[in-house]
Chain A
Amino acid sequence: MRALRRARFGLACAAILAAGGAGIRADEISDLFTNPETEATAAAEATEGSPSLLEEYHRQQEKFSFSFDLTSAAGAYLGWKTFPTADTIASGFSHSSVGGVTFTTALDIRPYDYLRLHGAVAIVYPTTVNGSLLFGATIQELFFDYATQGLLAVRAGRFPVSWGNARIIGVADLPGRVIDTSDLSKDVTIQPDWIAATKPSTWLKAALPLGGFSVTGLTGFPSDPDDLSFRAMAYGLLLEYQHEKTSFGLSGFFQRSYTTRAALTAKTALFGCDVFVDGALSFPYEATPLPSATAGLFYQASGGPKITCLLELRYNGERDAVSGDLVPDAPDIGGLSSAAALSWSEIGGSPLTVGATWYHAYADNSGVVVPALSVDVARLASIRSVFPFAYGPENGEYRKKMPSESGGFALGMGIALVLKASF
């Protein structure tokens, strides 16, 4: 038997070398070219009556599970909230502390593979209520998932919904634009939050995928507790079609007291990048429809260095024809604007992560650049820092609406020690 194996090994080596693979390690692959009948015993695992791999996977998923996340941070922003001049360099210098503790507990109940109940509650300290610092508790998520025998999937409860392809300055995230979402984010970290987190609200969502087509219906519960009628609810419909690397979406959304909107989105992949164009039309009451659009690129390395980057360019034409002001529920920055973000984590296997966000409004050439640096100093601890730098006129769009990671500082730095634990 050993002689037979040796002969096979020799044959394999000779064959590989003959195949021109001088660089191939014969010991890696030569053993693979043996007679299948001699090693074909493992297939017995797939005997009739035994649970399938999928059933086994569903069984292994915990029926009832808790998870806890604790984030604690302490730090400060230092610098100037308006760009300093020779006269204000001393008097304009200021600082503000950042930090706090967030304790999040999540619950998952999966009695069957077609049913799931999920909830997450965050307890945050400090939360300011009437000038007092208190513990605040919020339900981040509470929903159930139900899948029918066919393809229909339903999710109901409190959860985030995001439509459209843009991640920073989108126009087609219609549910995110019109529903009244309370700001639950009490993020104590100061790292760039360049992938905008979608805020949760109370929804009923039903999705029906049919091959390349899918239909998603969405209903939002009234945001006004004094009016719980059907008329006060939000309604949305999203039709999507995908073929190979290209997908299209057509959506519409209606909610009383908000501007009705429709959006058309397209995304494809070119040279490993997601390339997208999102367009939206808003229909103000008794006025001409107002267009807006975002085009962008998103790249996430599938191998090698852990690099993610994003570039978005937006035209926001949702201005009132008479006053010239943005309509009340329009995106923040009017006209042409752009946003870019980059992060490169674990550089060369080190605990170092660098990144940056850049925002620019072309109407007044105002903008903000926020480079960021993060170092993991221990298994659960990291030091994070950002260096905001704003430019353009003092009353420019981005000088008035600074991104959250700048801490409201036009020039300066923010630094914090962040401790994170999950259990």
Chain B
Amino acid sequence: MQRFSLRAALAATLLALLAATAGGQAADKELLRKIDARINFMGTDYAAEYAITQSDPGAGKTFTKALIFKRDRKEQFLALLVEPVADKGKGYLMVEGGIWLYDPRDRRFTFSSAQDAFRNTNARNSDFAVSKLAEQYRILGAAKEKLGVFDCDKLELEATTNDAPFPKRTIWVSADGTLRMAKDYSLSGQLLRTVAYQYEKLGNREVPSRIVMLDELKKKLVGGKEEKASTSILVSKQSFAELPDNLFTKEYLERIGK
């Protein structure tokens, strides 16, 4: 009888532990879902103009202007390049989870990976796609940390799927679930880039107004001071207006190109 009680107690403890772990995992997923919901535009379409300045240490600055159109509920986006003039008409089109790059010079579509760099900048194609933190990552650790005026949860994430943009990430999320900063790591733990976001109100929600990305690998001593390659994105002309269905098609890119 005593042995049975001991076994029962052990089993109950194990079950309680399992339940607590499962409950913890469910809470983690819920938190990541909440962050995804703040990043994505599931209820509306989204359009914005991205002015992208790339600074490479010792090599000056380059400027790219792109029009971004998103329909996150269908995982569609179109990034249409309008500057520099040489790249005008080029476009990144995401449909059915695949990203196509259209070049009007040879009028061909090639695949582009979500992990690929966007136009020689520190931005990745995945930065424009639907955020899938809840699907692609699990939380390894959490801590409270203050970031400027924001009380943030600092979450250590590890990828659970191969299509995750980075194998490991650390993200800072403010109390309302808004992503404030992210550090992206390689599988070996090498810090690859740091991304910080600033937001503004549009309607009843916050949308990114400025994004800064620092390349943690591309560094150079310039005038005795270490400089990193950085990408600064100013987001303007944001809108939730409905977009036409034919915008997210290859035929649209062919029509507006040369």
Contacts and interface: CB of A to CB of B under 8 A. Distances in A.
Interface of A: 8, 11-12, 14-16, 18-19, 21, 23-25, 28-37, 39-43, 45-46, 52-54, 56-57, 61, 67, 106, 108, 116, 145, 147-151, 153, 155, 160, 162, 167, 195, 197, 207, 209, 211-212, 214, 242-247, 267-269, 272, 274, 298, 300, 302-304, 349
Nearest to A57: B67
B120 A303 contact: yes
Nearest to B80: A57
A56 B48 CA distance: 12
A151 to B, nearest CB: 5
Interface string B208-241: 0110101010010000001110101000111111
A29 B110 contact: no
Nearest to B110: A274
B246 A53 contact: no
B96 A212 contact: yes
Contacts of B3: none
Given A52-B241, A54-B247, A42 B236 contact: yes
Contacts of A106: 258
B73 interface: no
Across the A-B interface, the 7 shortest Cβ-Cβ residue pairs: A33-B148, A303-B117, A153-B251, A244-B97, A29-B196, A32-B198, A302-B116
A18 B238 CA distance: 33
Nearest to B201: A40
B154 to A, nearest CB: 7
B148 A153 contact: no
Given A33-B180, A52-B47, A54-B69, A40 B97 contact: no
Interface string B144-187: 01111110001000000001000000101000000011010000
A61 B239 CA distance: 20
A39 B241 contact: no
A32 B202 contact: no
A360 to B, nearest CB: 24
Contacts of B258: 67, 106, 108
A208 to B, nearest CB: 9
Given A46-B202, A46-B240, A269-B113, A28 B230 contact: yes
Given A29-B214, A32-B196, A209-B249, A43 B202 contact: yes
Contact of A12 (B97, B107, B147, B240): B147
A32 B172 CA distance: 13
A120 to B, nearest CB: 9
Nearest to B225: A25
Contacts of B41: none
Contact of B199 (A36, A41, A214): A36
Which among A30, A52, A53 has the greatest number of chain B C-beta atoms within 10 A?
Answer: A53
A108 B88 CA distance: 15
A209 B117 CA distance: 27
A153 B245 CA distance: 12
Given A39-B209, A53-B48, A61-B256, A147 B251 contact: yes
B231 to A, nearest CB: 10
Contacts of A304: 117, 120
Contacts of A242: 95-96, 98
A23 B191 CA distance: 10
Of A40, A54, A300, which is in contact with the most chain B CB atoms at under 10 Å from its CB? A54
A45 B238 contact: yes
A302 B112 contact: yes
B115 to A, nearest CB: 8
Contact of B198 (A34, A46, A149): A34
A35 B206 CA distance: 12
Given A25-B214, A160-B107, A274-B111, A33 B251 contact: no
Contacts of B49: 53
Contact of A21 (B183, B199, B219): B183
Given A24-B214, A32-B212, A304-B120, A15 B148 contact: yes
A153 B249 contact: yes
